[in-house]
C-alpha cells in the first residue's frame, strides 16, 4: 500500500485534499496546484467555498488571479466531507486556539477528524499541520484513524508537519520555507516526504510526530520569550528616560551573539500569543512548571494595559480625561501590511479605551470594515487619514505600523501621539512612546 501511494504522489496522479482554507490551508492549495497536482479544498464556511469557486480571494496578500489559475488546474472547494474518500492525501489546517481558561482547544481538530473518519480508506496519508502540543497526533488522531479497522503505517499513513506561514512577508513563500515533518512510523515518514517533495524546496525529516510538534512550539516560544524580554526592558528603559528602540538598534550592530527583537503593544497572530501555552499545559502532565514561558506570557499580556496607561498619562498632561475623549487607533491588524486580525492586541486596546469611557475609532488601510470576530465586536469602518480627520481626535495610538500610513501627516496634525512601535524617532512635542 505504501509503495502504491508513493508512486501516485511521485507521478502527480494523487488528489490532494486540504481541510481548512484559511491563512495556512489556502497557500498550500495554491502551491500544490502550481506544481501540477489536483487539489480539493474542504471547509465548513460556505462563504469561503462560494468565494473560491468563483475565483475570488478573501485574503489580502493572496491574489484572485492565483485562485483562478488553481481552478484552471482542477481545483475546487466543497463543504462535503464525504469527498474525503476521493483524496489520496489529507492535510488538516484547522485552528487550535486556547480556551477561556488558557488551555488547548482541540475541538476543531477533533471535530474535523471525527467528520472524516467514516470516509477514510486504505492508501491515504493524513497530515496535521495545525500547531499543537507534543503527543496530539498519537493521542488524538491515531486512535480515531484506526477506529474503523485501518492500521496506521500499513493501510493508512499519519504525519505531523507544522505550518510555517508568515503572512505578508515578501521574502518567503510556501515553497521556500523549509518544512519539518515527522511520521508515526518510518513508512508514514516516507509517504510524507513523497507528499511534500514536489511542493517544498527543503524537507526536514524528524524521528517522530512528537519531535515535529515540539519543534513548532520551540520556534514560537523562542519568539514569545524574547519579545517578553524586550517588552519588559521597554518599561524599564522608559522609567530611565532611555529610548529602547535606539538601544536595540545599537545592540544589533554586534555581528555575533545578538538577535534583535522589538517591543510592541502586545502579541498578535495565531501562533505567538497561543502556542507557548500548549506546552505549558502539557508540561503539567509531567509535573513541570514552565516558568520562562508563563512569565513572558504575563509580560506580553500586560502590554495593552501599559499602552492605555500611557494614553491616560498623555491626556492628563493636557488636562483631559480619557472618558469622553476621541481616540483614533492606527492599525488593527496584528502585524504590519496584512489584513490578519487574529489575536490582535489593538482590539484589546480598543476595548480598554472604550471600557474607560473613551470614544474609539480606527484607521487601517488593510481592514476597511471591522470584521466579525468570535470574542470582539465593533460596528466601525476605517477612518481615512487626512489633516482634517486627524484634527478631530484628541489622541492617536499607533498599534500597527503599516507602511501605507503617512507618518509625516500624522506628526503634523495629530494632537497627541502614543507610539507603541517606535516609528517616530524624531522628538515631537505631542509624542509619547509606549
DSSP H or E stretch at residue 76: strand 76-78
Residue 108 DSSP SS3: helix
Following DSSP, what letter does each residue of 410-426 receive, concatenated?
HHHH-S-EEESS----S
* Distance, CA of 303 to CA of 52 (rounded, Å): 38
CA 426 vs CA 319, 408, 422: distances in Å: 25, 11, 10
* Distance, CA of 259 to CA of 252 (rounded, Å): 7
DSSP H or E stretch at residue 234: helix 209-239
Residue for cell digits 498578535?
268
CA atoms within 13 A on the CB side of 375: 12
* Distance, CA of 353 to CA of 173 (rounded, Å): 37
* Distance, CA of 429 to CA of 417 (rounded, Å): 9
* Catalytic residue check, 271: yes
The catalytically annotated residue of 93, 127, 188, 271 is: 271
CA 290 vs CA 135, 220, 269, 296, 330: distances in Å: 18, 14, 22, 10, 35
DSSP H or E stretch at residue 359: strand 359-363
* Distance, CA of 229 to CA of 219 (rounded, Å): 16
Kindly give the residue spans of alpha helices, DSSP state H, lying in 261-419. Answer: 276-284, 291-301, 303-317, 345-355, 387-391, 407-413
DSSP 8-state secondary structure symbol assigned to residue 385: P
Task: Provide the grid cell at 228.
Answer: 517578553
CA atoms within 13 A on the CB side of 246: 10
* Distance, CA of 52 to CA of 185 (rounded, Å): 35
Known catalytic residues are 271
Amino acid at each position: 500500500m505504501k509503495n502504491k501511494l508513493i508512486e501516485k504522489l511521485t507521478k502527480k496522479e494523487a488528489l490532494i485534499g486540504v481541510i481548512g482554507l484559511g491563512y495556512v490551508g489556502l497557500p498550500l492549495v495554491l502551491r500544490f496546484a502550481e506544481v501540477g497536482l489536483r487539489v480539493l479544498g474542504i471547509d465548513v464556511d460556505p462563504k469561503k467555498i462560494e468565494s473560491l469557486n468563483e475565483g475570488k480571494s478573501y485574503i489580502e496578500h493572496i491574489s484572485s488571479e492565483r485562485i483562478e489559475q488553481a481552478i484552471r488546474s482542477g481545483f475546487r472547494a466543497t463543504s462535503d466531507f464525504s469527498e474525503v474518500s476521493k483524496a489520496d492525501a489529507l492535510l488538516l489546517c484547522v485552528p487550535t486556539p486556547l480556551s477561556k481558561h488558557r488551555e488547548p482547544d482541540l475541538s476543531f481538530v477533533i471535530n474535523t477528524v471525527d467528520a472524516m473518519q467514516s470516509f477514510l480508506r486504505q492508501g491515504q496519508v493524513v497530515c496535521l499541520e495545525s500547531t499543537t502540543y507534543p503527543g496530539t497526533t498519537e493521542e488524538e488522531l491515531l486512535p480515531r484513524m484506526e477506529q474503523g479497522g485501518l492500521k496506521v503505517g500499513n493501510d493508512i499513513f499519519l504525519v505531523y508537519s507544522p505550518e510555517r506561514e508568515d503572512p505578508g512577508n515578501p521574502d518567503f513563500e510556501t515553497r521556500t520555507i523549509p518544512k519539518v515533518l515527522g511520521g508515526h512510523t518510518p513508512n508514514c515518514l516516507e509517504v510524507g516526504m513523497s507528499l511534500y517533495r514536489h511542493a517544498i524546496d527543503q524537507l526536514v525529516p524528524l524521528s517522530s510526530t512528537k519531535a515535529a510538534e515540539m519543534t513548532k512550539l520551540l520556534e514560537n516560544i523562542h519568539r514569545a520569550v524574547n519579545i517578553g524580554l524586550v517588552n519588559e526592558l521597554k518599561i524599564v528603559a522608559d522609567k530611565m528616560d532611555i529610548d529602547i528602540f535606539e538601544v536595540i538598534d545599537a545592540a544589533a550592530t554586534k555581528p555575533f551573539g545578538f538577535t534583535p527583537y522589538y517591543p510592541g503593544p502586545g502579541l498578535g497572530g495565531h501562533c505567538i500569543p497561543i502556542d507557548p501555552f500548549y506546552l505549558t499545559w502539557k508540561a503539567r502532565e509531567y509535573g513541570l512548571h514552565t516558568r520562562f514561558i508563563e512569565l513572558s506570557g504575563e509580560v506580553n499580556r500586560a502590554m495593552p494595559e501599559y499602552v492605555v496607561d500611557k494614553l491616560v498619562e498623555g491626556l492628563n498632561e493636557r488636562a483631559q480625561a480619557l472618558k469622553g475623549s476621541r481616540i483614533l487607533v492606527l492599525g488593527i491588524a496584528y502585524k504590519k501590511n496584512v489584513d490578519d486580525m487574529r489575536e490582535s492586541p489593538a482590539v484589546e486596546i480598543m476595548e480598554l479605551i472604550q471600557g474607560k469611557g473613551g470614544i474609539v475609532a480606527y484607521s487601517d488601510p488593510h481592514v476597511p470594515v471591522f470584521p466579525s470576530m468570535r470574542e470582539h465586536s465593533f460596528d466601525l469602518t476605517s477612518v481615512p487619514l487626512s489633516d482634517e480627520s486627524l484634527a478631530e481626535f484628541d489622541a492617536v495610538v499607533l498599534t500597527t505600523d503599516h507602511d501605507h500610513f503617512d507618518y509625516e501627516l500624522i506628526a503634523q496634525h495629530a494632537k497627541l501621539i502614543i507610539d507603541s512601535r517606535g516609528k517616530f524617532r524624531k522628538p515631537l512635542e505631542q509624542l509619547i512612546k509606549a
